[in-house]
Amino acid sequence: MARRQTRQVALDAPRGRSGMLQRTPQPSQDRFGRFSEAFARGMGTSGFLIGMTVFVVVWLAWNTFAPVPLQFDPRAQNFTLLTLILSLQASYAAPLILLAQNRQDDRDRVQIEQDRQRAERNLADTEYLAREVVALRMAVTDFSDEVVTREVLRAELRTLLEKIELRDDAPDGTAR
């Protein structure tokens, strides 16, 4: 009897990620986007700028001061190879930076929408609480005749105390 082999799928991870068991490897659809962001982040660092400056200075110094047979991009040809390399870098860097910026804009748009929804919920909660406070104030105002204030309670207690003292002072224990 032939048994069918079942694949277990981890439901807590999206497809194309490492959460699936016994699957054929699939490249992530967003790998290039993550690469472009890492590239743009790297190009924006001081380390990249310093490294690029050192590279260009060494290139220029070598091709200016080295013996002519050892120069691979001579000064007499206006450093044509260096110009081509920097142009190639710029032609790849600009679209990658724009792609990374577009991805950041998409994330910002989602974050703004979440912030807007959160603000709406907070406003709705605040309005609800304000209505509840108003309802409580109105209920207290409607029953203000029945609400015992501190002064009324003190007056009642004084009256009761006077009656008790009069009863205690009476010879037979009854109040006069």
Q: Is the pLDDT of residue 71 over 70?
A: yes
Q: Is the pLDDT of residue 107 over 80?
A: yes
Residue 110 pLDDT: 93
Higher pLDDT, 148 or 96: 96
Return the H-helix or E-strand segment holding 2: none
- DSSP E strands in the chain: the ranges are none
pTM: 0.47
Q: Tell me the percentage of the chain whose pLDDT exceeds 90.
A: 36
Residue 20 pLDDT: 47
Residue 9 pLDDT: 55
Q: Contact at 8 Å (CB) between 23 and 8?
A: no
Least confident interval from 6-10, 16-20, 55-59, 137-141: 16-20
Residue in the structure block whose two tokens are 């207690």: 157
Residue 26 pLDDT: 52
Higher pLDDT, 2 or 120: 120
Confidence of residue 8 (pLDDT cuts 50, 70, 90): low
Confidence of residue 83 (pLDDT cuts 50, 70, 90): very high
Q: Contact at 8 Å (CB) between 167 and 174?
A: yes
Q: Is the pLDDT of residue 101 over 60?
A: yes
The Cα–Cα gap between 82 and 172 comes to 122
The Cα–Cα gap between 176 and 166 comes to 7
Each residue of 28-49: pLDDT tens digit? 568 888 888 888 888 888 898 8
Domain ranges across the chain: 31-126
Phi-psi region of 90 (alpha: psi -120 to 50; beta: other; left: phi over 0): alpha
